Amino acid sequence: MKTNRLFDLFRSGQPAVSGWLSIDSAYAAELVGSSGFDAVVIDCQHGMAGHAQMVAMLQALTHTTAVPLVRVSQNNLAEINRALDAGAYGIICPLINSAAEALAFGRACRYPVDGMQGDRSFGPARGLLVGGADYPQHANTQLLALAMIETQAGLEAVEAIAAVTQLDGLFIGPSDLGIALGLGPGAAHDHPVLAAAMRRIQAAAQAAGKVTGIWCGSAEMARDMLAQGLQLVVPGHDAIWLKAEIARRLAVLRPPNPVR
């Protein structure tokens, strides 16, 4: 099976930088996937893509070097299985609140083979195409499963969530976590309350021998998170990048205080 380069990076202590797609376009996927990111996440929770667009975006990512990941809209066996069967090399699952929810998520990502407890049903249509004929033998160890910690309940259960065997790591949602902590969605990542929560999540993953990833609103935040030792960062998403570059160009053409 074609291996998942993210695991090589994690094992060698090198961080991974991922793109993030909220625009439901195979062309956008192709562009972002060809831009130098180690991975690209198709966001099916808050992004625009439905299942058919997600499949087309995974197809577009196939000819790039970025590892294709999907954030599913919810912790649902059928949705997780369909994303993996369509060729996703990893799943990020939002709003994990407890060890039981984490176990259900982790089991959805794993086949019940080789002593692994799993609920994944067999039928990896595109998985076989992109992964190879031996996909069924290696899928359990090559596909990444990251549980999002972004609620008060999830934070309180984070050590038990991190211990779930089927998971490879935790993924911090700073906006929802900021809301859960009473700070609002735009809290600065160095706000002491949010920073302490993020450190607790990172420590829980570390203690369980797992990785921590995070969505970041800016490249500067992503840089700080890498400096703090997180293994996977996402410096914003396609819609943010597009809007920022449009604003920058319009500001060049229409300066706020033009000299008359």
State yes or no: residue 236 binds ligand 3PY (CB under 6 A). Answer: no
One character per residue 167-206, x = contact with ligand 3PY (rule: CB under 6 A): ------xxxx------------------------------
Q: How far is the CB of 156 from Mg ion (least distance, A)?
A: 17
Alpha-carbon gap, residue 228 to 241, rounded angstroms: 24
Q: How far is the CB of 45 from Mg ion (least distance, A)?
A: 7
State yes or no: residue 150 binds ligand 3PY (CB under 6 A). Answer: yes
Q: Is 46 a catalytic residue?
A: yes
State yes or no: residue 43 binds Mg ion (CB under 5 A). Answer: no
Residues 103 to 132: which contact ligand 3PY by CB under 6 A? none
Closer to Mg ion by Cβ: residue 24 or 43: 43
**Mapped to the 3 state alphabet, what secondary structure does the chain carry?**
CCCCHHHHHHHCCCCEEEEEECCCCHHHHHHHHCCCCCEEEEECCCCCCCHHHHHHHHHHHHCCCCEEEEECCCCCHHHHHHHHHCCCCEEEECCCCCHHHHHHHHHHCCCCCCCCCCCCCCCCHHHHHHHCCCHHHHHHHHCEEEEEECCHHHHHCHHHHHCCCCCCEEEECHHHHHHHCCCCCCCCCCCHHHHHHHHHHHHHHHHCCCEEEEEECCHHHHHHHHHCCCCEEEECCHHHHHHHHHHHHHHHHCCCCCCC
Closer to ligand 3PY by Cβ: residue 83 or 139: 83
Q: Are 145 and 106 in contact (CB under 8 A)?
A: yes
Closer to ligand 3PY by Cβ: residue 152 or 175: 175
Closer to ligand 3PY by Cβ: residue 77 or 179: 179
State which residue has the least CB distance to ligand 3PY: 173
Q: Choose one: 12-20, 35-43, 166-174, 188-196; the region binding Mg ion (CB under 5 A).
A: 166-174
Q: For residue 76, give both structure tokens.
A: 């649902």
Identify the residue among 127, 131, 154, 173 touching Mg ion (CB under 5 A): 173
Closer to Mg ion by Cβ: residue 129 or 179: 179
Residues near Mg ion (CB under 5 A): 150, 173, 176
Active site residues: 46
Residues near ligand 3PY (CB under 6 A): 94, 150, 173-176, 215
